[in-house]
Amino acid sequence: MKKFHMIIDLEKCVGCFNCMLACKDEHVGNKWLPYTDEQQKHEDKWICPELTERGEAPYTEVTYVTKTCMQCDNAPCIKKYPDVLFRRSDGIVLIDPQRAKGNPDIVNACPYGNIHWNEELQVAQKCTGCAHLLDQGWTEPRCVQACPLHAIQTVFCEDYQWDQLVETQGLKPITSGENRPRVMYKNLYCYNKCFIKGAFAFDKDGIEEAAVGIKVELLINKVVVAETETDFLGEFKIDRIPKDSGKMTIKASMDGYDPILVDLEIKDKSVVLDCYKFGTDELGKPAVILPNEHANELAVQHMTKADAEETKEAYGK
């Protein structure tokens, strides 16, 4: 029997929230009994992206992580409430809206927070995979249909085919995976791994130049574990480093100079290094320069005559 699966690709999510809105469009104000009763207008979201950031300006990376019921094969919610929740033959886990009435504890049966309590109707609810539509011949749930790049994708396949997909596409569960979720993520590293970003420069004729196209290595315990090159801005990035990886060293090599070695530690965040300059102990200019004490003089120099006079007068006071 082909089963319902979902792949969420973090690199393809543009953060439009169409999935959440399509889910609301389908379920707010519409009863789809016996599948589910109406969703609360604002209080609950059965699927929703969450904005996450790595790095810092200007090396910020944004990833939206969409979370929804994972239709676990080994669903803890069913285990806890076998009379209320059930799995269909296509793998979709549903809550019986009649039996889920009046028992807010059901919400706690999902360790991932994907069951919601509808205060108004006094019933536990969650994503149904739009089973009411699939049963009418729709090929995908509303959230998938509304997704511009199909960053959310449904796959109906046999278990063994799914295992193959997990393998070939490098799909990862967002949790530990112990309950065999049927919703898996692609490019999860954007969310749960760290990167190191940095820049190198050198002085030439009194001008600070970007060190373009030089070799940058990542060493752990003096062993090279990754290698890259700086880009046209003299910057490099090494990604997919697990959190809490501990101490490591960045080594940058440029012809005619001693290599630069920077020690760092990966904890739970990405690391943005200062700009290091070959042939000197000084640091290069930071990637964002803050206004200095001469800002006003500089401003006046480039203002129109009238604006400059007004400004001079104001600052003169």
Nearest approach, Cβ of 226 to other proteins (angstroms)? Answer: 19
Record the tokens describing residue 201, joined without a space. 């420069």
Task: Report, in Å, the least distance between residue 58 CB and other proteins.
Answer: 5
- Minimum CB distance to other proteins smaller for 25 or for 105: 25
Comparison of 163 and 297: residue with beta carbon closer to other proteins? 297
Q: How far apart are CA 1 and CA 49, in angstroms?
A: 30
Distance CA 24, CA 42 (A): 9
**Whole-number minimum distance, CB 83 to other proteins, in Å?**
30
Smallest distance, other proteins to C-beta of residue 118, A: 15
Type and span of the H or E element at 134? helix 131-134
Q: How far is the CB of 124 from other proteins (least distance, A)?
A: 20
Q: Hunting for tokens 């120099």 — which residue is that?
A: 301
Q: Measured from the CB atom, is 231 or 244 closer to other proteins? A: 231
Q: Is the dihedral of CA 134, 137, 143, 149 positive or negative?
A: positive
| Smallest separation (angstroms) from other proteins to the CB of 152 | 14
For residues 48 and 174, which CB has a smaller minimum distance to other proteins in the complex?
Answer: 48
Q: How many Å apart are CA 137 and CA 261, to the nearest integer?
A: 61
Of the two residues 109 and 134, which places its CB atom closer to other proteins in the complex? 134
Q: Decide whether 28 or 264 has the Cβ nearer to other proteins.
A: 28
In angstroms, give the least distance from the CB of 285 to other proteins. 4
Nearer to other proteins by Cβ, of 60 and 164: the residue is: 60
CB closer to other proteins out of 1 and 207: 207
Lookup: tokens for 236 = 């490099």
> Could you give the CA distance from residue 61 to residue 301 in angstroms, rounded to a whole number?
36
- Rounded to whole angstroms, the Cα distance separating 82 from 74 reads 12
Q: Name residue 247's beta-bridge partners.
A: 265
**Is the distance from CB of 5 to CB of 180 less than 8 angstroms?**
no
Task: Pull the structure tokens for residue 258.
Answer: 């001693």
Least gap, CB of 26 to other proteins (angstroms) = 6
Q: Where are the beta strands (DSSP E) in the chain?
A: 3-9, 47-54, 61-68, 85-87, 93-95, 116-118, 123-125, 152-157, 183-186, 193-204, 207-210, 215-220, 223-229, 235-242, 246-253, 260-266, 271-277
